[in-house]
Amino acid sequence: MGILDKAKNLSNKVTDSVNEFSSDEVLANTIIKSVKKQERINILLKEKGSNYRVSDINLE
pLDDT single digits (tens) 15-54: 766 666 667 888 888 889 999 999 999 999 999 999 999 9
pTM: 0.57
Looking at the domain assignment, is residue 49 inside a domain? yes
DSSP 25-59: HHHHHHHHHHHHHHHHHHHHHHHTT----------
What span, in angstroms and rounded, lies between the C-alpha atoms of 54 and 39? Answer: 8
Q: What range defines the domain where residue 45 resides?
A: 24-54
pLDDT at 49: 98
Residue 56: per-residue pLDDT: 83
Q: How many domains does the chain have?
A: 1
- Domain membership of residue 36 (yes or no) is yes
Q: Quote the pLDDT of residue 37.
A: 93
Domain-embedded: residue 31: yes
Does 5 fall in a domain? no
- pLDDT score for 30: 85
Flag whether 50 is in a domain. yes
